[in-house]
Structure formats: structure tokens, C-alpha cells
Amino acid sequence: MGRKEKKGERGNVVKYISRAQALKKLQISLAQFRRLCILKGIYPVEPKNKRQLNKGSTLLRTFYYRKDIQFLLHEPVLRTFREQRSHQLKINKAIGKREFVVARSLSESKPVYTLDHIIKERYPSFVDALRDLDDALSMIFLFATLPVDDKIRAHHVRECQRLSAEFQHYVMSSRSLRKVFVSIKGIYYQAEIRGQTITWVTPFQFAQLVPTNVDFRVMATFLEIYETLVGFVNYKLYSDMNIVYPPKVDLDRDASAGGLTSYILESRDRQDIVSSIAAATDGVVSAANAAQIKETAKRIKSLEKKLNKLRSDADEDKDEDEDAAQGGDMDVETDAPVPVAEPTTAEETVPTLVGWNNANEGKELFSSCVFWLSREVPRYSLEFVVKSFGGQIGWDATSGAGSPFDMSDPRITHHICDRPVEKPGELPAGVPRFESREYIQPQWIYDCVNAQRLVKTAGYHPGETLPPHLSPFVTVNEGDYVPDEEDAEQDEDEEMDEGIEDTDEATRQAELEAEAAGVHFSDYAKGGAAADVKEADAKPSAAKGKKQQGKKQSASSEEQAQEAEALELAKKMMSKKHKKLYDRIQSSKEHKSSQADKLRAKKAALKKQAAN
Amino acid sequence: MAKSRAPAKQTAAAAATAAAAAPQAPSGTSPAIQSADAGRVKKAQGSRKGKKAWRKNVDIQDVEDVLDELRNEERLGGKVHEKPSESLFFTDVAGDQNVRKELKLKPLRIDQILKPDSSIPGVLSRKSLKSSTKKVDADGVEIKKTRQVSKTVLNKIQDLAGRKKKAGLGPGSFSAMKQAEHAKREAAIKRAKGGFDLWGEDDTGDKDAPADEGYLETVRPKKAKKPKTEYAIPAAIPAVRVSHPGASYNPTESDHKAAIKVAASAEFHKMAEDEKIKQKLSYPKELDLLDDETFFEDTDEEEEEDADEGDDAAAASATEGDGSDQDTHKQQSAADARRKTKAQRNREAKQLQRQREVEERKAEKKLLNQIHAIGSIKKSLNKEVKAKEQRLEQRRAAAAEQAATKPAKLSRHAFKPAPMEVQLVEELADSLRTLKPEGNLFEDRFKSLQERNLIEARVPVTKHRKAKYKETESHDYKRFK
């Protein structure tokens, strides 16, 4: 017979520990315990059999895993908490004795703790940290807009403003913003960084009332760990882009509400970039002699050419197999390097070809646009969004300093204003008319971003009733009705047609603009030629795509037949119950699609009417 | 105005005049003697019968007193009443300062009230700001302290002004060292808040290696490992829950309607719950419809019936109890009358035997049948087990769904979700400028933490006074004179 088991040696009693027991074990106050748990990422749990643990009491208590609490005992922060307490007692004693000088010097040497080891422990890899960034960013962006009072400290707000601006700068310069949604609650943004989608919400400015039913100590503790996390994430992101972190702050501009423009991003010195690229491509660490620098510079030039080639190849490939390309994984035919999900070595953290490719590939939606913001328009959001898609933007002096140009600049293509108009078709009062500009409402920018193309400005002019602002976070199922989908296709066709006529005019104007900006004509011509080549490349690739589609169809018809057969067999094998359920699902789908068809037909009819 | 400075002398003079007047008025009607009399206790008058009694009972105490005083005055330098007035009195030209004060500044009543009872001064709790000693220079002039700030602050200021450096106290001085220490501390804190590449450096616990060298492998302190505990963080609840598409600032009509429907259904659900509770607690109206007779009659009848039954049972038991002896006798006699013969017994035994055999055969047949039908039995059993498993699976799936979508109960209080943000048609803005934000992000973040089981739901605790304040009227003002 085995050893007799004693009470309290196995099972739930050992697995869980109540909060009061934990406090007794750790010898700290409740407030400190709460902070420690939040910092360490230790959360309360709901035991399966609560009655067993509660010793007959029916009151629900808070439980933790005993192992977690045991682990907390090793925490350096816990020691600092205890030191802080004894230090505070010393200060109190000095104040009680009216020895203020002593108290002051004591308070200056208060023991402090750092959280970097906790961040490393909770997020062993950088991707782990990115995955948990949603909450952290939302909190940081929220606190950056809060008013300072006795509960929300000024240094927290300042820190949050800095961190949020730094992160926005990264998103802007890496072109990683994907979606924007303006809701009545706040503005939702979604960015894609290292293959991770990061969603965060920012409040509207001056709108946040601080509620009374929120525990500030809890929020402040979460903020503490998130500040540290975002700080390290920013450092990593910046240093991977070869930008100096932390960026310098132009204090004068910051004082005059410069916002994002008061941060000065500087790349690390040139030599550093060159050597790192050489190391990444050849695995050879270049010494800092002139000959080798020249050589690497040459290599960079050739790399650019290669990249262009790769890009055009990639465009072709896209049509061939979209599904494969979706994951961003490697294509076998091309020599394109494999995108790396999580760089773990120093080699991988330097900007590799993939990074360059991604950055250039894409989201230069507003690159041909120059915006001007009227003062009634939310600059804090629009500046971020426009710059994230390569646009240029200027604003009224009343909404902050640092505008790169003024309102009468001839380069401006879009004037964004949001004031009521007296008569439809007219500009609002106080907005001067320039012939070369489109006058639009701010929603146009958000809608362009979500549609991933420049949508028509009709309907967005001042005074017009805006089309609805759709949430880009809704997943559209197959066969669902999307109001703008046909418009998008048509737009593209029209652009192709109009492109030929418009290019001459456009190029002439662009040249003039370039001259105004101080670019030499010869330099400009080179750039323009490159752009033309790009367009030319794009067309044949589309044609190729169509051919390949035809091949695909013949292959797929057989597959389809097989699939249909399999489906029928499966249906026959179904039980009555399942069959009914299946039928119901199918009928609802059919109903939906028929509804969508109806809507499409209606739209077509309306269009016909309008045309007539 | 002349006034005596010494009141003692004055009385002496008055006594002298009284003595001078004494021979003229021996009966003692002078005011001085009267006043002297007034102080004394009156004796009871003695007998006045005969000369002997007269002599015996005459009270000459006051005369003797005066004479004694005169003698005393003579001893001290001459009789007072014989002296000239100038030697006894003088004219007070300066006057009494206190008098003036008394006349002018009559103390206020409140000051009188507030005057401390004790003449002993209270103990000072804080150090007196003025020191009791004074620093004096060679000429005897007091040296006044000009420093108003603490020494550390002064040092800092001087460092800033560059004075200490000039005096040779710059680098290496106490304050310089302190400043350097402070700067180092600040730098370390800043570094730990995003000042280096946390994921880039290759640290595999080598930091502590040199300190551990002295230990044997077996006793070397090991770094605590993080336990692999799993938290039931609802998987379906994202950290940032994106608003309903109908909560767009400029939604489509269908989305907006859907959003309102969601918000309304939540509200209706809440109302229904409230109603349920109210109904349970309220007085049911059906009770009013019952008239009293039906309400009470039934119970009466039941009670009566119960009573009847009880009586019957009691009676029956009584009769049984009484007649038990007789019955046994009767049964015995009846049994005797029906005694079976041996043949009968044998027949019955045979019958029984046959019956048993038949039953055995049946059982055997059944068993055989079952053996043949073992397949179908197995099937049915399997079916049962399968159904059980399926039920279990369903229950598990439901529990998993619950865990994925609903916050756990981690404390006494249940999680209360914030109401969904939605605007009515008339509240919707026609442009971004006129948008009125709805909901509170601060609350949203806090609720999100609770919803994801990161913190337990709590109710803010406000401190209440347990005892109520009691109002009374103070009568202190009556106690002062």
C-alpha cells in the first residue's frame, strides 16, 4: 500500500491560492500586489471547483495560480517595492521631525525599478511584442490626449505624446498603414508591421472626459509597462530602418503645436548603412576604406536595377497565383529573397532586399497629391494618414507651426475644407478659389485609403452630401453586395483611357512644379522616363495574366466537376438533421445573393437612367 | 489730582485721626471706630445690674486698641497725627501708567474669555525660530544670518553659477559627485525605457555568470523559470474591438439600423431581466381574484379530512390491538380445519417442480437467444455510449464557446459591459466637423481589460461615515461671566 495522502497536498488546494494568502506570502500591500501582477502579466483565474477552495464560504474570492505567486517571489521588482516602503518610512520620519533637508535628499534617492527584464521575459521575441501591441498603442494614444490632473501625471502624458509621435513616424516612413475607420467613438487605424496586423484606436481631440468609475491606479500600472514596451518596440523598429532613436525634438516647433513635424528623423551615418547592406548581401563585413565604400555604392546602384526588375516580375506573378502571393511567401520562379517573419540575428535586422521591396512596392497612394488643410479639419489624423501614403501636406498656421508651404502654393492639388456652404456648388466663405485644385471634404482621404485607390471626388465636394463612410474592418463574404465594387473596375478602365490624353498635360504641369521646387530639368526627365517605363511594363503583364487565366479555366473545369460529384456524395451520406441544416444554410446564401443581384440590377438601371 | 501712593499709610492716618477724636466722643460714634466695629463680631451684652457689673462688663477694647497703636507709632518715630501733612503725603505728578491703560483700554470681554487659566506658559511644540544665542563679531555687533535656503540647494545654485569651480570645489566636490550620481541614475532609468535593442542582444543568462563561479554546479543558484500557467483569456475578444460598422460617423442606412438593433436588443434584454425580478418580488394580483371563502374553505375541509382519516386509523389500530389474541386463535383453528393431506402435499411439490423446470428452460432459451443476438446488443450499447460522448462533446464545445466569448467570474462582482455606442438618426453628423463623439475611450480600455480577464471586475469603494453626525447646541457662552 502506498503512502497515505494527507489533506492539502494535492489537487485544487495546491493548484490555486487566494489573494489574501498570496499577500501574506509576498509580504506586500494589496495595492503593490496588484501592480506587481499587472507588471509581470500574472492574472487572476477562475478555478473549476470554487466551493472546494472556499472552505464552505459562498462568497466568491479572487484566486491565482500558486505557481505564479511562487514565481513572483523571485522578482527583483518585489524587492524594490519593499525597499521603497522602508524608504518612505524614513522620509515620513524625517518630515515628522521637521528635518526637511534630510527628507528632501532622501526623496531624491528613492529606490526605483526598471522593467526591461520583464518585457524580455514576457515577450521573448520581437514578434511576440508586436502581437501584443494593440492594447499598448491604444492606451498610449489615449493618454497622449488626456488632460493633466492630480490623477494623470504630466510626465505620463508627455511620455505618451512622445511615444505615439515616434510610432506614427515609423508607420509613416515605413508606409505600413492599411486601414482607417472613423467611428463615433474614435478613429481606428490598422497597420501591418512584420506581417502582424496591429489595430489601435485613437480618441478625437479634446473629447475625453475622465470617468469616475475607472481605477486610475490600475490604468497607471498598465500604462507603465506599456510605455516601456512601446519604447523598446520603437527602438527596434527605428534601428531596423537605420534611423537614430530617439529622434531629436525641435523644441520651438513643439511649443508652437508642430505636432509630428517637431520630430527630426535622422538616418545613422552613411558608412553604417553601406556596411550593413554589404554584410547583408555578401556576408562580408566591409572595412572602412574608400575603395570598398565605392564598390558597395556601385552594388547598391545595381541592386536598384535588380529591384525594378524583380518588381515587374512580381507583378506578373501576382496574376498567376494570387493565393500563393497572399502570404507574402517566396516565389519559386524568381530569385526574390524570402521575407522573414521574425529577424533573430543581427544580419536579419538590417534592411534586407525584402524590406526595400515592400517599402517601394506599394502604398504610394497620395504620391502625386499635395494637400492643403483648412483650419477646421483634424490635422492630427489627416497628416498621419496622408504622409503614410506618400502624400505632401500643408496646413493653416492656426492649426500649428511647421507647414512646408502656404495656401497659395501652386503645387497644391487638393484643398481639404469642411465648412458649410451658402449655395450648393460654391465654395464656403473664406476659402479662396484656385483653378488647379480640387476642393474636397476630409472623408475623401479616409475612403481612398480604404479603397486603396484614389476614388472620384464627386460627392466629396464641400456642401455635398457625403457617401457613407464604410468600415474597412468588415470581412466581405463571397457574393455580398459591395456598393463601390463596379465603380472601382470602371474607374480603372477610365483611367487607362484617359491616361493617354492626360499624360501630356500632366507632365507639362509636373515639370513646371518641379522647376518651382528647384529640381533640375535633366534630373526630372530621368525620373519621368523611369515612371513611363513602369506604366508600359504594367500593361503587357495584365495581358499575360489574361492568357494564363484561360489556361487555368480548362484545368479548373475538370476539378469543378470532381468537386461537384464529391459534394453530391457527401449530401447523400448526410443524416436527415444535417441535411436540413445544410439546406437552410444554402437557401439563406441564395437569398442573400439574389438580394445582391437585385441591388446590382437596380443600380445598373439607375445608371442607365442617369445616362439617358 | 493727588492720590496716596501707599494705601497702608492712608489707613494708618485714618486711624490716627480716629484716635485723636476718641476723647471727644468716647461713645464711639466716629466712622473709624464704627468701621472697626463692623469688622468685629458683636458680643452678647452682659448684665448691667449694679456698679460691679458695670465695671466688669464695660468693653474698652477699641480704646485700648487705639492706644496700642498710638504707642506703636511713638515707637516707630512720632505720632502720625502730630506730624505735618507734607511729611506724610506728596503730590504724584507723573501719574500711574497702569491707570491710564486701565482707563483707556478696558479689556474686551472676549479677551477675558480667551485668557488662559493657567499662568504657566504652555510647552512649545516646535523649535523657536529665533535662537536664544546670538552670534556677535569682534565689535559686539550681531551677525545676522542671510541664508534662506538649505545647504544642498545653495550648493546647487553655486554650482550652476560656476562659483564652486572657481573656488576649487568643482569636480570631485560632494555636490558634483551627487549630481553625477543623479545623472547616472536618470540615464539608467532612461535606458531601461527603450534605450537599447532589447531583442537584439544575445544574452542567455550570462549576466550572472561571474557571480556564480564560486559555486559548485549542484548548488549554483538557478534563475527562476516562468511557470507554464495558462490563462483563460477569451480568445474571441480582441484587445481592440473595432466598433460596429453602423457606428461609423457617416454610416449606411442598413448598417446604422443593424447597429441600433443590436443596441436595442441589449437594452430590451436588460429591461426584461429587471421586469422578471420585479415580478418575482411583487404581490401577485391573482390572489385578489380569489374570494375568501374558496381561499379558506379548501384548507378547512382538508384539515377535517385529515382529522377524519387520523381518527379512522387510530380506531383501526385500536381494534386490531384489542382483538389480536382472539384472531390468532381463530386462524389456528381454521388452519387445523384446512390441514393438507400428504398426497396433496406431494402433488403440490410436483407442480412446483414442473413449474421450476419450465422457468429454467425459458431462461436457458433466453440466454441462447441473447448469445445469438450479441451483435445487436453490442450495437445498441455502442449507440448509447456514442450518444453519451456526443452529449459530452457538445457540452464541452458550449463551455469552450462560453470561455472564448464571455469573461470569467474572478471576483464577487460580475463584469458589466459598457453600453454600445450608437447615435440616433437625428444625432448623426453630416460632416466630420460637426461630429459629436459618443462613448468614452478611457472606460472602453478599462472594460476591455476586465473583459479579457486581465483584472477582476470591481466596484469603486467610496468611504462612508458609519455614524451619523449628531446636531447639538453649544451652551458654552452661558458659562462665562
Q: Quick: pLDDT tens for A385-402.
A: 999 999 999 999 888 888
For cell 516562468, the residue is B226
Note whether A100 and A135 are same-domain residues: no
Residues 274 to 303 of A: which have CB under 8 A from any B CB?
Answer: none
User: What one-letter code names the amino acid at B241?
Assistant: R
**Do A186 and B441 form a contact (C-beta atoms < 8 A)?**
yes
Q: What is the CA radius of gyration of chain B?
A: 59
Q: Is B316 helix (H, G, I), strand (E, B) or coil?
A: helix
Helix, strand, coil distribution of chain A in percent, nearest 5: 55, 10, 35
Strands A16-18 and A63-65: antiparallel
Note whether A248 and A135 are same-domain residues: yes
Mean pLDDT of chain A: 78
A563 within a domain of the structure (yes/no): no
A360 within a domain of the structure (yes/no): yes
Tell me, what's the ipTM?
0.71
Domain with A585, as residue range(s), is 572-612
CATH number of the domain that residue A407 is part of: 3.40.50.10190
A331 within a domain of the structure (yes/no): no
Asked whether the predicted pLDDT for residue A91 surpasses 60, the reply is: yes
The b/e string for B324-343 (b: 16+ C-beta within 10 A; e otherwise) is eeeeeeeeeeeeeeeeeeee
Residue A478: what pLDDT? 67
Copy the grid coordinates of residue A128.
Answer: 511576440
Instruction: Give the closest-approach CA distance of A346 to chain B in angstroms.
Output: 7
pTM for this prediction = 0.64
Give the Cα separation of B55 and A67 in Å (integer).
Answer: 119
Instruction: Give the closest-approach CA distance of B157 to chain A in angstroms.
Output: 15
Note whether A128 and A258 are same-domain residues: yes
Note whether A75 and A168 are same-domain residues: no
For cell 489537487, the residue is A11
| Per-block mean pLDDT, blocks of 10 residues, chain B (481 long) | 42 43 42 46 71 80 93 87 86 79 76 81 64 73 71 73 57 71 88 87 52 71 83 83 92 92 94 94 83 61 50 49 56 73 94 97 95 92 95 92 86 89 90 89 92 89 81 78 65
User: Which range, of A63-67, A190-194, B467-471, averages the lowest pLDDT?
Assistant: B467-471
Residue A266 dihedral angles phi and psi, to the nearest 5°: -125, 135
Give the Cα separation of B451 and B417 in Å (integer).
Answer: 8
Q: What are the counts of helices (DSSP H) followed by strands (DSSP E) for chain B?
A: 18, 0
Note whether A171 and A246 are same-domain residues: yes
Instruction: Give the closest-approach CA distance of B440 to chain A in angstroms.
Output: 7
Residue A427: what pLDDT? 86
Note whether A257 and A195 are same-domain residues: yes
Give the Cα separation of A384 and A172 in Å (integer).
Answer: 7
Within 10 angstroms of residue B301's Cβ, the number of other Cβ atoms is 10
Note whether A40 and A158 are same-domain residues: no
DSSP A6: P
A218 within a domain of the structure (yes/no): yes
Asked whether the predicted pLDDT for residue A149 surpasses 80, the reply is: yes
Residue B22: what pLDDT? 42
Greater model confidence, A479 or A223? A223
Facing residue for A466 by CB, picked from B250, B422, B456? B250
Choose, out of A184, A349, A418, the residue to mutate when testing the contact with B (most B CBs < 10 Å): A184
Give the confidence band of A371 by pLDDT, cuts at 50, 70, 90.
very high
Note whether A133 and A241 are same-domain residues: yes
Note whether A30 and A128 are same-domain residues: no
Residue A141: what pLDDT? 95
Name the percent of chain A lying above pLDDT 70: 71
Residue B329: what pLDDT? 65
Asked if the C-beta of B197 comes within 8 angstroms of chain A's C-beta atoms, the answer is: yes
A304 within a domain of the structure (yes/no): yes
Query: In the listed set A466, A493, A515, which residue is the last one of a domain according to the structure?
Result: A515
> Quick one: average pLDDT of A424-450?
89
B436-to-B15, B129, B258, B262 alpha-carbon distances in Å: 103, 59, 20, 21
Chain A partners of B454 at a C-beta cutoff of 8 Å?
38, 43
Reply yes or no: is the peptide bond before residue A246 cis, omega within 30 of 0: yes
Give the Cα separation of B65 and B87 in Å (integer).
Answer: 25
Residue B339: what pLDDT? 86
**Do B237 and B415 form a contact (C-beta atoms < 8 A)?**
no
Give the confidence band of A128 by pLDDT, cuts at 50, 70, 90.
very high
Greater model confidence, A437 or A612? A437
**Strand boundaries in A529-608, DSSP class E:** none
Residue B275: what pLDDT? 95
Copy the grid coordinates of residue B57.
Answer: 462688663
**Do A24 and A102 form a contact (C-beta atoms < 8 A)?**
no
Asked whether the predicted pLDDT for residue A376 surpasses 80, the reply is: yes
Give the confidence band of A308 by pLDDT, cuts at 50, 70, 90.
low
Asked whether the predicted pLDDT for residue A340 surpasses 50, the reply is: no
Residue B444: what pLDDT? 92
Note whether A170 and A258 are same-domain residues: yes
**Half-sphere CA count of B184, side-chain side, radius 13 A:** 7
Nearest CA to B253 out of A464, A589, A467, A418 is that of: A467
Note whether A86 and A129 are same-domain residues: no
Asked if B410 lies within 8 A of A134 by C-beta distance, the reply is: no
Q: What's the domain count of chain A?
A: 6
A431 within a domain of the structure (yes/no): yes
Residue A464: what pLDDT? 87
A466 within a domain of the structure (yes/no): no
**Do B431 and A177 form a contact (C-beta atoms < 8 A)?**
no
Choose, out of A61, A163, A185, the residue to mutate when testing the contact with B (most B CBs < 10 Å): A185
Note whether A63 and A85 are same-domain residues: yes
Helix, strand, coil distribution of chain B in percent, nearest 5: 55, 0, 40
Greater model confidence, B230 or A465? A465
Query: In the listed set A469, A496, A515, which residue is the last one of a domain according to the structure?
Result: A515
A392 within a domain of the structure (yes/no): yes
DSSP class per residue in B422-471:
---GGG--SSGGG----S-HHHHHHHHHHHTTSS----------SSPP--
Asked whether the predicted pLDDT for residue A89 surpasses 70, the reply is: yes
Give the confidence band of A344 by pLDDT, cuts at 50, 70, 90.
very low
Chain A partners of B426 at a C-beta cutoff of 8 Å?
none
Residue A256: what pLDDT? 82
CA A221 vs. chain centroid, Å, equals: 24
